[in-house]
Amino acid sequence: MHARRVVLNSRPGKNGEPSPGNFRLEQITLTPDLKDGQVLVRTLYLSVDPYMRCRMNEDTGADYLGPWELSECVDGGGVGVVETSRCSALAEGDVVTSFNWPWQTHAVMMGSSLQKVDSQMVDGHLSYFLGPVGITGLTALLGVREKGHVTKGANQTMVVSGAAGACGSLAGQIGRLDGCAGVVGICGSNEKCRALVEDLGFTAAINYRSEDVSARLKEICPDGIDVYFDNVGGSISEAVIEQMNRGGHVILCGQISQYNKDVPYPPPLSDKTQEILQSRSITRERFMVLSYMSKSEAALFELSQLVKSAQIKVLETVVNGIENMGVAFCSMMKGGNIGKQIVKISD
Ligand code: NDP
């Protein structure tokens, strides 16, 4: 049978913006005969994520991430359905996911590399396994829980950067549910600000492209900031940390503003910000969701309940077609998404 796949066509360079031309679409032929343990899957949804920018470099800068190889099929989070199985644990029609799903319309995979999922966990909304009831939701929930020190009744103010993105939009809602008195989002458009406040219940939102972040934070958070969920780094984060209270906590989730630059992770802070962290005893520990996988089953169950009961609202931006993987990835890196960026590959 024929399938289409996306391969890495070229690298953007450590100091470059990725472009759709870094990816190339190809036709391939899949052999119909499966070996023992293999399954044929049809891809339903694929995820595009900021960490993939590191995988476009020959040296990813992270020992837990391998580089994508030139002219080889690209992979990442995916969800699909089993069409044929020679794996005893999986049957035709099962819905499965993997962190290493090839960017292919159909693929032959080892059943043991796939996780079977229950579509009732997401009320049939299968793309949610890549977002709120998947690694994105885990990042938001466990990031807040493990590093945020949110305490009910403590009148804390939380700020989230990258707030209208996949993790940020969930992290702010979790901060509010866990007891923050105020949750302020920082994001890149007025439309995003509106969605945060009107649809997701954030207290306020700041458009960093058109507003003075420091001045607006002073206005909105006159008593200072206690918890900062940092997705972006750079000057936005320095402005937030400057207004943090003694004993506050930075959840160092990501630093997307620095991903097209040849800098180590986490990128160095200015001396002034470093001094603020020290003198005010603010913690800023690196958070890595993959270090907390022993907590994932309970956390995914909780996320599923929160989504099903609409205590957490989900935003998604969906693009259609495997031919648009590169476009969707580059658009997400520049803020084209509200909520989780998903690519729908088949019905
Ligand atoms: P998002 O859905 O948040 O998409 C990325 C967003 O980043 C864009 O929508 C854009 O929104 C914003 N952005 C891009 N460039 C800049 C910039 N220069 N300054 C400010 N904002 C920018 O992606 P995810 O939710 O998947 O990821 C969010 C963060 O979480 C990333 O840093 C990622 O690396 C990190 N992460 C960390 C994990 C961990 O284990 N620690 C696991 C998963 C993700 P806007 O319009 O607002 O600019």
Is 308 part of a structural domain of the chain? Answer: no
User: Which amino acid would we find at residue 38?
Assistant: Q
> From atom 10 of ligand 1, which residue's Cα is the shortest distance away?
335
332 Cβ inside 6 Å of ligand 1: yes
> Of 290, 305, 329, which residue is a domain's last?
290
- Whether 295 is in a domain gets the answer no
Instruction: Say whether both 142 and 69 belong to one domain.
Output: no
Calpha distance 154→39 (Å, rounded): 51
Residue with tokens 């939380």: 158
Tell me how far apart the alpha carbons of residues 45 and 96 are, in angstroms, rounded to a whole number: 11
By C-alpha distance, which of 233, 218, 240 is closest to 158? 240
pLDDT single digits (tens) 53-93: 999 999 999 999 999 999 999 999 999 999 999 999 999 99
Contacts of 215 (CB under 8 A, 6+ apart): none
Q: How far is CA 121 from CA 95, 128, 142, 296, 341, in A?
A: 12, 9, 19, 14, 20
Looking at the fold, whether 248 and 333 belong to one and the same domain comes out as no
For residue 78 the two structure tokens come to 């995916």
| Beta carbons within 8 Å of 91's beta carbon, 6+ residues apart | 82, 85
**Does some domain include residue 115?**
yes
**Strands 244-252 and 283-286, bridge-based pairing:** parallel
In sequence order, the 6+-apart residues with CB closer than 8 A to the CB of 232 are: 161, 162, 186, 254, 255, 256, 257
Q: Is residue 306 part of a domain?
A: no
> Element (H or E) spanning 81, and its range?
strand 75-85
Q: What ipTM does this complex have?
A: 0.99
Q: What is the CATH number of the domain that holds 280?
A: 3.40.50.720
Same domain membership, residue 110 and residue 165: no
- Tell whether 282 and 339 lie within a shared domain: no
Q: Which two tokens mark 314?
A: 């989900």
pLDDT at site 32: 81
Q: Identify the domain containing residue 259 by its residue range.
A: 135-290
187 ligand 1 Cβ < 6 A:
yes
330 lines ligand 1 (CB under 6 A): no
For residues 147 and 250, state if they share a domain. yes
| Ligand 1: nearest atom to the Cα of 51 | 34
Tell me the backbone φ, ψ of residue 84, rounded to 5 degrees: -145, 140
Positive or negative CA dihedral for 74, 80, 84, 88?
positive
CATH at 101 = 3.90.180.10
Ligand 1 centroid to residue 245 C-alpha, Å: 25
Ligand 1 lined by 7 (C-beta under 6 Å): no
Q: What is the pLDDT of residue 30?
A: 95
Backbone torsions φ then ψ of 93, nearest 5 degrees: 95, -15
**What's the full length of the chain, in residues?**
347
In a mutational test of the pocket of ligand 1, which residue from 49, 196, 256, 331 has the highest number of ligand atoms less than 8 Å from its CB? 256
Q: Are residues 230 and 333 located together in one domain of the fold?
A: no
Distance CA 10, CA 24 (A): 9
* Ligand 1 touching residue 233 (CB < 6 A): no
C-alpha 50 – ligand 1 centre gap (Å) = 6
The answer to whether residues 285 and 141 belong to one domain is yes
pLDDT at 171: 99
Residue stretches of the chain with pLDDT short of 50: none
Structural domain count of the chain: 2
- Residue at 173 is within a domain: yes
Is 265:61 a contact under the CB 8 Å cutoff?
A: yes
- Tell me if 307 is assigned to some domain: no
Say if residue 94 is in the same domain as residue 210: no
Which amino acid does the sequence have at 336? G
| Closest atom of ligand 1 to CA, residue 209 | 48
Residue of minimum CA distance from atom 32 in ligand 1: 254
Index of the ligand 1 atom closest to the CA of residue 255? 32
Question: Is the CB of 156 inside a 6 Å radius of any atom of ligand 1?
Answer: no
Could you tell me which of 317, 97, 73 has the C-alpha nearest to residue 191?
Answer: 317
Helix runs in the chain, H state only: 52-55, 135-147, 166-178, 190-194, 213-220, 234-242, 271-279, 296-308, 325-333
Whether residue 287 has its Cβ less than 6 Å from ligand 1: yes
Do both 95 and 218 map to the same domain? no
Model pLDDT, residue 70: 98
Q: Please indicate, yes or no, whether residues 104 and 235 belong to a single structural domain of this protein.
A: no
- Position 246 scores a pLDDT of 98
Query: Does one domain contain both 140 and 271?
Result: yes
- Does 256 contact ligand 1 (Cβ within 6 A)? yes
Q: Are residues 173 and 75 in the same domain?
A: no
299 in a structural domain: no
- Cα–Cα separations (whole angstroms), residue 108 to 32, 78, 101, 216: 9, 14, 10, 52
Whether 145 is in a domain gets the answer: yes
